[in-house]
């Protein structure tokens, strides 16, 4: 039976197989991929507010036909942005902290007046002012006429990571057994 099925399938013209695969993908796309966003929020006034004021929650999300998986979209967008968006020229302000460490504020004030609002962007744990997703936000805010400042954490965005002195509090002796363990260390 398997052999006869193999013979049948191997004799199907290639365009039939291609048409079947493409048709199957289209059915998968419309049934599994195109969906309304899921609102992960507890029932209550906040959820009702979002449903009333965010009309995109009622619309279906139509991802690109050739890149439907969310992680693949993230990777592809990151690669594409890194090739398209140039490095931005910020005005840098370095702040020295009490413990000797340094953080930086990168300002972009082009295309805005003296009374323009200021937006502060706080990148994620390893983000900095030249990260692709940050540059997209900076360009969009600056094009809207806002002054933009990006906060760069210690050791990121070209700031040298200076050693931070940490003095542990004295060990409190709780029991004789704890004292013996501390003395062995």
In a domain, 178, yes or no: no
CA distance 28 to 22: 10
Asked whether residue 76 carries a pLDDT value surpassing 60, the answer given is yes
pLDDT digits (tens, 9 = 90+) for 137-157: 999 999 999 999 999 988 888
Higher pLDDT, 14 or 84: 84
Q: What is the pLDDT of residues 97-113, one digit of tens each?
A: 888 888 899 999 888 88
The span from the CA of 49 to the CA of 57, in Å, is 12
33 contacts 69 by C-beta, under 8 angstroms: no
pLDDT more than 70, % of the chain: 88
If asked whether residues 78 and 94 sit together in one domain, one would say: no
Q: What is the rounded (10 degree) CA torsion for 142, 144, 146, 149?
A: -40
Same domain, 60 and 118: no
Predicted confidence band of residue 78 (pLDDT cuts 50, 70, 90): confident
**Domain assignment of residue 177, yes or no:** no
Decide: pTM greater than 0.85.
Answer: no
pLDDT above 60 (res 165):
no
Q: Are residues 22 and 67 in the same domain?
A: yes
Residue 32 belongs to domain spanning: 2-83
Q: What percent of the chain has pLDDT over 90?
A: 31
Is there a single domain that holds both residue 104 and residue 122?
Answer: yes
- Tally of domains within the chain: 2
Question: Which letter does DSSP use for residue 30 in this model?
Answer: I
Where is the domain boundary, 83, 101, 117? 83
Shared domain for 20 and 75, answered yes or no, is yes
The pLDDT score that the predictor gives to residue 164 is 59
In a domain, 33, yes or no: yes
For residue 123, pLDDT over 70 is answered with: yes
Residues 14 and 48 in one domain: yes
- H helix intervals, the chain: 2-10, 14-28, 45-53, 70-84, 132-143, 176-184
pLDDT at 171: 45
């Amino acid at each position: 039976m398997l052999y006869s099925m193999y013979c049948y399938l191997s004799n199907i013209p290639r365009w039939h197989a291609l048409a079947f695969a493409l048709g199957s993908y289209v059915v998968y796309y419309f049934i599994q991929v195109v969906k309304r966003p899921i609102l992960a929020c507890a029932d209550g006034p906040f959820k009702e507010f979002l449903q009333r004021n965010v009309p995109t929650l009622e619309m279906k999300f139509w991802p690109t036909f050739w890149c439907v998986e969310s992680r693949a979209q993230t990777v592809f967008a990151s690669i594409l942005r890194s090739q398209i968006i140039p490095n931005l020229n910020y005005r840098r302000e370095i702040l020295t902290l009490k413990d000797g460490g340094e953080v930086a504020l990168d300002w972009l004030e082009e295309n805005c007046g003296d009374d323009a609002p200021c937006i502060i962007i706080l990148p994620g744990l390893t983000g900095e002012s030249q990260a692709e997703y940050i540059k997209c936000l900076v360009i969009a805010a600056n094009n809207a006429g806002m002054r933009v400042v990006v906060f760069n954490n210690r050791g990121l965005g070209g700031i040298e990571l200076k050693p931070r002195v940490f003095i542990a509090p004295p060990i409190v002796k709780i029991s004789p057994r704890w004292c013996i363990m501390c003395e062995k260390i």
